[in-house]
Amino acid sequence: VQLQASGGGLVQAGGSLRLSCAGSLSTGTNYIVGWFRQAPGKEREFVAAINWSGSTYMANSVEGRFTISRDNAKNTVYLQMNSLKPEDTAVYYCAARNTASRRTVPTQNFRDYRYWGQGTLVTVSS
């Protein structure tokens, strides 16, 4: 499985960005795809995830501002980020893990995800 994250950049506080995670995910296997972020000097933290049935899960810190979605035809997962704050500044990573069920609730522990993209930097200026 290969994941390619893109879409990061520099944006002013209050602005928006959309991150993309393009993956070579087999259609015969169930996956959870998640977004994590890591700011300098901090541990990698959960942002959002979507399971294979399409249920979404958001961290409290981004609830109401970020949205995760999936385009099956393009094999791509998106993270739409609105109302960005300087504290959202981080390298954002997409990750995936196999699951037995389409409805498995995603874990928020980054150590549970096996496949990782290379990360894309998001910088929010005040």
pLDDT in tens, 65-116: 999 999 988 899 999 999 999 999 999 999 999 988 888 899 999 999 999 9
Q: Residues 114, 49, 62, CA angle at the centre, nearest 5°? A: 130
Taking 90 as the threshold, does the pLDDT of residue 34 lie above it?
yes
Mean pLDDT over 51-55 rounds to 91
Mean pLDDT over 5-26 rounds to 94
Can you list the alpha helix ranges (DSSP code H) found in 11-126?
A: none
Quick one: the chain helix, strand, coil %, rounded to 5? 5, 50, 45
CA distance 111 to 82: 27
Confidence of residue 120 (pLDDT cuts 50, 70, 90): very high
Q: Find the radius of gyration of the CA atoms of the chain.
A: 14
Alpha-carbon dihedral angle through residues 51, 52, 53, 56, given to the nearest 10 degrees: 20
Average pLDDT, the chain: 94
Confidence of residue 17 (pLDDT cuts 50, 70, 90): very high
Higher pLDDT: 9 or 24? It is 9
Q: What is the pLDDT of residue 119?
A: 95
